Amino acid sequence: MNRKYLGYFGIALISSFFTAALCLVLLPKIYNPNFVRQNYASQTNLKKVEYLNEQVRSSSIINARQKAAPSVVYIDTVSVVTAAPDIPEEFRDFFPPGIFGGGQQQVRGAGSGFIIRPDGFILTNEHVVRNAQNLKVTLQGGKKFDGRVVGTDPQTDLAIVKINATHLPTADLGDSDSLVPGQWAVAIGNPYGFHDTVTAGIISALGRSIDDPNNRGYLIQTDAAINPGNSGGPLVDLSGKVVGINEAIIANAQGLGFAIPVNLAKKISKELINKGKVQRPAAPWLGVALTELNDQIANYYGLTNQEGAIIQVYDNSPASKAGLQNGDIIKEVNHVKIKSPQDVVKEISKAKVGQEIQLLIFRDHAMRVVKVKLEAKPQQFDKKANNPSQNDLPFNR
């Protein structure tokens, strides 16, 4: 054989030996699950990796539904809604229609929930049972029970309902801290009265705030189809574990649903079952509803600008006790100029319960100074609790 070709053959032979040796060393590691897990865990949270592995091992959305659906209930309510406080007749025309009145009306509602204890404790949304005078709970098999509200927390929009039953199927509560955007999510509930409806999507994002997308909040965002009636129902992962409580959508949007993390719900539900409410530091309360000024109202009052906030006063509130009246316009709080209702909220939140504040108000074409001693905010006036109109409910945002 030509020496030239013998040289090429020698180089090829040596290269083959090196390649074989390299494979013998690396292949066991490459195909070793522990090696892969250790290297991947160096780039992300090991807890989340293990959680995703569990999701992959889970069979399907069918299995998730079969595991979670027996614990899902359907809640029908009859509520009494009280209209907002009256406001002087002479400038009602300047406000949007329908916000005034003094009567009460019955409103029928429907939502979902899920059983968290076999002795009949059910977790749902606070807005599902708000002001409910009559409450019916239907189990998956169709059996109906009268329900009673054990406790509510308007701030987190969570509530506990109790029915007189035992040996009930319970939901398996998961770990919302392990969620990863992009993983599958399944919503189960009672949208528009269609019992046992299952929809699927993904976890779109974490740490969302509905009120301000630019601020970090605590809600889970999902594109699983959620509609009125899904409120209070579970959002589950592919293993059938509850990871969230479906709460809200943004109206006129597509695939923008939100759920309360189950880890938060675990803490809140324990307090609601044991105490009927959540103990928090008392928030200062003035006791007024606030409305922005517009050109018409400013002209009516003879004001040169739209700065300030016009008020409606709640009965037996600090504002009422201090002599504030419906139609007063707050211009300053503790010498801080008020340009909008949000400024009033901001300044009151800086104060403390029991503190006396000074308001500069406009009434009868003159400025007046009124001192108000703030009280602790009652639960019924906490976030989302003040008899909202239909347009203000979470599913109509």
Catalytic residue positions?
127, 157, 231
Tokens of 41: 């865990």
Q: Hey, what long-range contacts does 291-294 have (CB within 8 A, 24 or more apart)?
A: 291/95, 291/341, 292/340, 292/341, 293/329, 294/94
CA atoms within 13 A on the CB side of 378: 11
Tokens of 149: 């509200």
Q: Do residues 76 and 131 make contact, with C-beta atoms less than 8 angstroms apart? A: no
Q: Do residues 221 and 180 make contact, with C-beta atoms less than 8 angstroms apart? A: no
The single residue listed with the structure tokens 């703030």 is: 374
The whole-angstrom separation of Cα 337 and Cα 359 is 10
DSSP category for residue 83: P
For the four alpha carbons of 268, 274, 276 and 281, in that order, the dihedral sign comes to: negative
Tokens of 120: 């009949």
Q: Do residues 279 and 268 make contact, with C-beta atoms less than 8 angstroms apart? A: no
The single residue listed with the structure tokens 């040796």 is: 21
Q: Do residues 183 and 52 make contact, with C-beta atoms less than 8 angstroms apart? A: yes
DSSP 5-28: HHHHHHHHHHHHHHHHHHHHHHHH
Neighbours of 23 (CB within 10 A): 11
For the four alpha carbons of 316, 320, 323 and 325, in that order, the dihedral sign comes to: negative
Judged by DSSP in three states, 36 sits in helix
Residues with Cβ within 8 Å of residue 214, at least 6 apart in sequence: none
The whole-angstrom separation of Cα 40 and Cα 55 is 17
